Amino acid sequence: MSSAPDLQGKHIVLGLSGGVACYKAAELTRELVRAGASVQVVMTESACRFITPVTMQALSNHPVYTDQWDDRVANNMAHINLSRQADAILIAPASADFIAKLVQGRADDLLSLMCLARPAERVPLLVAPAMNREMWAHPATQRNVAQLRADGALVLGPDAGDQACGETGDGRMLEAETLRDELIAFFQPKLLRGKRVLITAGPTFEAIDPVRGITNLSSGKMGFAIARAAQEAGAEVTLIAGPVHLPTPLHVRRIDVQSALQMADAVLPAAGESDIFVATAAVADWRPASFNDHKIKKDGQKQVPSFELTENPDILAAVARLPQAGRPWCVGFAAESHDLVRHAREKLVRKGVPLIVGNLGPATFGRDDNALVLVDAQGETDLPHGSKISLARQLVREIAERMAAG
């Protein structure tokens, strides 16, 4: 499996203003470099009080700039040269004072001067606030943040939680991995901007008694990857998840369910308000016809208990039968053990949907990689082996192209 790093070829200028959250900028630099980015660090004098330029240079593998009069730059215009080379400028942490500088157009240090001098039409500015909860809630800060957004900056966070001062509330800088993922998402093409996407993921659990049930080996990773990719593409995403232990993708609305009936009850009302429905979940075909209120115990006679099964509702087919005016563009999944294309094509016809995505379930359950085949009325398209997130982004692109083609 070989997939290019998510930020391969991107040159990021990472600006640090003064604040204890500078310690997170060290890990953020590592995460951006691991994701393939070239990172150029620029620090204010206050930032140098919290973390040293030596540390940031070691992590970024580039000299750190702190002074607008730095004579290492041939023309002595670091604020011009640094901003022209950037694909994006990320300020993390951004203190209350530095946000005020950005809004007021003040430029009394290299970092603020560089932000003011950047060509705004092609070098985006992303800002990750970090400050005490009272400072964040202050009307002046809220006015400044609103103006910063109006001026075109993307404000990332802040988070809520414990703060260095001992207080708890809004104002924490987002964690390094979250900021990395926000930056990755920022650069993804917005192929589904304005679309509402509904996705199911994971297995269902059909209870036999309070402690036992029927389920399957689906990890939910492919569905969660598709939810992330759809959100990165600009969609408003709702994810209906069976019992899995996975973090919710950024900015995705998540609804947790257990059984197929619960999943159906969650999907059907939402489907009519969605533009796209991706049925990734491995929904159990059957459930016990009756539920035992108490755990089924061994009786000492070595008798094996038996129970009757009844069929679960076909969620994908039910959505595909909605009236045309309220029917989303439907994508089904076929996790098979053999004869993948044949079974996927039979499912395409049986469900009455425009696209089925097939994969060999036993080869991918629980893994972070996969290989897919897209089956539609025109034929089959292979998506070769790769990470599930890279495949999810390819699938999102295929869905967008098919919808645009009518």
Q: How high is the pLDDT of residue 147?
A: 98
Tell me which CATH homologous superfamily contains domain 11-187. Answer: Flavin prenyltransferase-like (3.40.50.1950)
**Mean pLDDT, residues 67-78 taken together:** 82
Summarised one tens digit per residue, pLDDT across range 77-114 is 878 889 999 999 999 999 999 999 999 999 999 999 99
Per the prediction, the chain carries an average pLDDT of 93
Q: How high is the pLDDT of residue 361?
A: 65
Residues with a catalytic annotation lie at 165
| CA nearest neighbour of 128 among 229, 256, 28, 246 | 28
Check whether 363 has a pLDDT greater than 70.
no
Question: Cβ distance 94 to 44 under 8 Å?
Answer: no
Q: What ranges do the domains of the chain cover?
A: 11-187, 196-404
**Mean pLDDT, residues 396-402 taken together:** 96
Asked if the bond preceding 158 is cis, omega within 30° of 0, the reply is yes
- Separation CA 43–CA 62 (nearest Å): 13
Check whether 6 has a pLDDT greater than 90.
yes
Neighbours of 20 (CB within 10 A): 16
Summarised one tens digit per residue, pLDDT across range 17-62 is 999 999 999 999 999 999 999 999 999 999 999 999 999 999 999 9
The percentage of the chain sitting over the pLDDT mark of 70, rounded to a whole number, equals 98
The reply to whether 196-404 shares the fold of 11-187 is: yes
Q: What is the value of pTM for the model shown?
A: 0.91
| CA nearest neighbour of 83 among 24, 183, 15, 184 | 15
CATH class, 196-404 region: alpha beta
| CA-only gyration radius of the chain, Å | 25
**Tokens encoding 243:** 């019992």
- Separation CA 77–CA 63 (nearest Å): 16
Summarised one tens digit per residue, pLDDT across range 128-175 is 999 999 999 999 999 999 999 999 999 999 999 988 888 899 999 999
